[in-house]
Amino acid sequence: MFDEKVLQCFLDKQLQLYPEPVAETLEEAESFLEECMAVVVDSVKEVWDFFEEEGIDLDGADEESILDAEEVFEIGDGRYLIVEG
């Protein structure tokens, strides 16, 4: 479900969401993300849609603030990983 680029992104940036590492290998990252029911989306609009579907209040939010949310990891290829902490 999660390709190597997604897993490596999470390993590199996991401290933006958690106070200490929760995974040290690609395999641990994959298991953790599966357990958290993390999702990968293909655009900023899909990040926005995800938050709306989850019932998160987006009043006053803009694209930049959504992407700055600690749960959102920019993969670097136009996709985003969303991990519910």
Give the per-residue pLDDT at 64: 84
**3-class DSSP state for residue 80?**
strand
pLDDT below 70 — which residues of the chain?
Answer: 85
Token couple for 9? 């992104």
Which domain does 56 fall in, by range? 4-82
Number of domains in the chain: 1
Whole-angstrom distance, CA of residue 50 vs CA of residue 39: 9
What pLDDT was estimated at residue 25?
98
Note the pLDDT of residue 85. Answer: 66
